Structure 1
Amino acid sequence: MKLTMRWVLRSKIHQARVTDGNVDYIGSITVDSDLLDRTGLWPNDQVQVVSNTSGANFITYVIPAPAGSGEICMNGAAALYCQPGEEIIIMGYELTDRPLTAQVILVDDRNRFVRYLEGGHD
């Protein structure tokens, strides 16, 4: 039996708001640790970021922000793609040979957890 490896959605933070940008930083996205915990994202995890505001789409890695801070900060080159106030989606994937149940959350306009979304949508 041949195993087929696929990139499968594992984690998603939906409707997050960029709170800050720091183009002088080496690179990455800083994310409130509470949101990381709820989605299973780890520090240094590779993530895809998509802006619902500008259409920007890029890959970077996660740096944890203090829990409860609501911080979503674009760092380095990522700060050129997404500005404070933009609505974004943050997605983590896993290379696997089996189906996964993604941990998908919806946040409010201050990046506070609202609820889990089933199957990645309402």
Structure 2
Amino acid sequence: MQVTLMKGRIDLASVTEADLHSEGSISIDRALLDAAGFLINERVQIYNIETGARFATYVIEAPRWSGTIDLNGAAARLAMTGDKITIVAYASFDEAEAKIFKPRVVRVDRENRIPPD
């Protein structure tokens, strides 16, 4: 049996741009991708804290330490610049893996950077 668990999450990121005329996806700062364990082209769910909108898209890389969280293409209709969103990736695990797996949770500051501990 396979179960689906949260693999990684970026909490309360601020949308830095919503570009309807760009390639559809979400651009995420490379440092945040690494911290959350997200892969390029990986499917992610986006939860807009401001509006309650929930939608899926795929990840593209933005420059490391840029703080970029850009929604592109059709996804740009579901959030505005400044909206707080949570970005989640899921993965399938067998039952034994699921019992020991620990997801990566990344909390960011207002500039979408990982604050020091």
Q: Deviations over 1:53-74 (max 9, x none)?
A: 1111000000010000000000
Aligned equivalents of 1:45 and 1:80: distance in 2?
21
Aligned equivalents of 2:53 and 2:67: distance in 1?
21
Structure 2 portions without partners, runs of 5+: none
More helix by share: 2
Aligned equivalents of 1:15 and 1:35: distance in 2?
12
The yes-or-no answer on 1:96 pairing with 2:93 is: yes
Match of 1:58 in 2: 55
Structure 1: which 4+ aligned runs deviate by more than 2 Å?
A: none
Could you tell me the percent identity over the aligned residues?
37
Q: Deviations over 1:32-63 (max 9, x none)?
A: 00000011101101000001111110000000
Structure 1 portions without partners, runs of 5+: 117-122
Match of 2:106 in 1: 105
1:82 is displaced (CA, Å) by 0.6
How many residues in Structure 1 have an aligned counterpart in Structure 2? 113
Match of 1:43 in 2: 40
The yes-or-no answer on 1:25 pairing with 2:22 is: yes
TM-score by length of 1: 0.89
Computed over aligned residues only, the root mean square deviation of the Cα atoms, in angstroms, reads 1.2
Q: Would the aligned equivalents of 1:105 and 1:114 in 2 still touch at CA under 8 Å? A: no
1:115 is displaced (CA, Å) by 6.4
